[in-house]
Amino acid sequence: MELRFYNSYSRQIEAFQPIEPGKVRMYHCGPTVYQRPHIGNYRAFLFADLLRRVLEGYGYEVTQVMNLTDVGHLLNDADEGEDKLEAQARKDKVDPWQIVETVSRAFFQDLDALGVIPAHHYPCASDHISEMVAIIEVLIEKGHAYRVGDNVYFDVSTFSRYGQLSGNKVEDLVAGLRLEINEEKRHPADFALWKSDPAHIMKWDTVFGEHGFPGWHIECSAMAEKYLGKHFDIHTGGEDNVFPHHECEIAQSEAANEQAFVNLWMHTRFLQVDGGKMSKSLGNVYSLDDLVARGFSPWDYRFLVLRGHYRTQVNFTWEILRGAKESRAKLIDWRSRLRAAMRSGGGVDTPATIDAVTAAHEVFDAAIADDLNTPEAIAALFTLRNKLVQVGEAGSRTADAAIALLDHADSILGLFEPAAEVNVDSGALSDDQVEALIAERAEVRAAKNWARADEIRDALQTAGIVLEDTASGVHWHRG
């Protein structure tokens, strides 16, 4: 089935065509590592993971890059204000590099907890200063950038496509966005490629002076080019990245290289919390730990996100998360019942039940191919489940096909925590694996994560392990 994606640049759904047959190169704007990302930030990163899984499911060899911004992202997203990292460092009274390390570690732990397949490269902006300087020098040489003292600005008047992605016209920008008047700029909409500030802690001695640091936008142009080349397939980010960040990336890269930069731009809508923007003052800026502390698995959050289409509003409340958790638990339960049905072999196989599975598979794939319509794909699973449940226990052929569909859906969406998969099907759990699962069950029970505890109990049961809860702890034997 042909993959079709909405391209933010053309504002149209387009059939996906890679630049190089069989290969996809893609770049995602990653976190600015000044604070541990909140659950809303992860919506965009989960989208990147979904895209990766779908493309690999289609057999593409994917090269995936997500950057970490550790310098140059100023508080207002544009050219003024303090560096986010340095502002946080001042508040916490620590070295900014220490924050980079702590936050990056938390970020990778979160990605892992969410079941995100690691990207091939996670470049850090501060490790790519020479690449940025090289592009800036080219831009100056070609007349697209100019130096004022130790600062360098991009001259937007030299790039006619500036504004095409965001739909912003340069004239309107000046009035509409109330750009702060900066006497150094030739045009108020010009943006900084390189800034100089002796007070900056994270700074580099380059051809532009002793105390410089990069603008946020040039970082992504440089890192994308280094790992993916001058022209690559897909670039994603949150909707807030469209302007100025991505608009500026396009201008820099295309002006410097005199060729197309990215074929397909994809943007994820923000997550809403309690129906609005999350904010510190409302106390609803949640981290993944906050969810786990309330007995949810990060995978429940992942499921909540997938239940909404990436270009639509998705709202987060504890109630909605509970609904997502219950809904996911139904899929987990259904899968173990299908496995049991496979073993018993006494259920119902009719042409109708087999056809229902085939039809669900088709609907699932068609939904994913249609601009990653995950809610429709998930709905197809539930429609099938409800149909089969009405018939009674599934026969082994029906169960086999339904399990294959669930495995396929899991590979694309990431539905089930993989630890549950430990060899239970073969009935050949090693003693170590049994012990590990029992230990995990105790842990998740303590955290009141009942769905996971039940999942483990079922998995053990399926593998023929009998548990006895006694005063001296859990004993087990093979049944």
Residues that bind Zn ion (CB under 5 A): 29, 220
Of the pair 223, 338, the CB lying nearest Zn ion is at: 223
Whether 192 contacts 148, CB under 8 Å = no
Of the pair 125, 403, the CB lying nearest Zn ion is at: 125
Of the pair 18, 123, the CB lying nearest Zn ion is at: 123
Least distance to Zn ion, CB of residue 203, Å: 21
Q: Enumerate residues 6+ apart whose C-beta is below 8 A from 63.
A: 23, 24, 25, 26, 120, 121, 227, 228
Least distance to Zn ion, CB of residue 124, Å: 13
First to last CA, the chain: 46
Distance CA 407, CA 157 (A): 52
Q: How many CA atoms lie within 13 A of 310 on its CB side?
A: 31
Q: What does each C-alpha distance from 259 to 10, 153, 167, 232, 237 come to in angstroms?
A: 17, 21, 21, 11, 22
Local structure of 43: helix, strand or coil: helix
Of the pair 100, 220, the CB lying nearest Zn ion is at: 220
Distance CA 356, CA 49 (A): 29
Of the pair 29, 129, the CB lying nearest Zn ion is at: 29
Of the pair 103, 460, the CB lying nearest Zn ion is at: 103
* Closest C-alpha to 48, from 226, 243, 267: 267
Least distance to Zn ion, CB of residue 427, Å: 48
The packing angle between helices 396-413 and 351-369, to 10°, is 10
Q: From the centroid of its chain, how far is CA 318?
A: 21
Local structure of 60: helix, strand or coil: coil
DSSP letter at 279 equals: -
Whether 22 contacts 75, CB under 8 Å = no
Least distance to Zn ion, CB of residue 261, Å: 12
Least distance to Zn ion, CB of residue 236, Å: 10
Of the pair 240, 454, the CB lying nearest Zn ion is at: 240
Least distance to Zn ion, CB of residue 146, Å: 23
* Closest C-alpha to 310, from 50, 13, 125, 39: 50
Whether 300 contacts 325, CB under 8 Å = yes
Amino acid (one-letter) located at 373 = N
Whether 344 contacts 392, CB under 8 Å = no
Of the pair 219, 400, the CB lying nearest Zn ion is at: 219
Least distance to Zn ion, CB of residue 126, Å: 14
Least distance to Zn ion, CB of residue 347, Å: 52
Least distance to Zn ion, CB of residue 148, Å: 25
Sign of CA dihedral 230, 235, 238, 244: positive
Which H or E run includes 81?
A: none
Distance CA 479, CA 466 (A): 6
Least distance to Zn ion, CB of residue 125, Å: 9
Q: Give CA torsion, residues 297, 301, 302, 308, to 10 deg.
A: 150
Of the pair 220, 329, the CB lying nearest Zn ion is at: 220
Least distance to Zn ion, CB of residue 30, Å: 7
Distance CA 219, CA 126 (A): 9
Of the pair 220, 412, the CB lying nearest Zn ion is at: 220
Of the pair 248, 399, the CB lying nearest Zn ion is at: 248
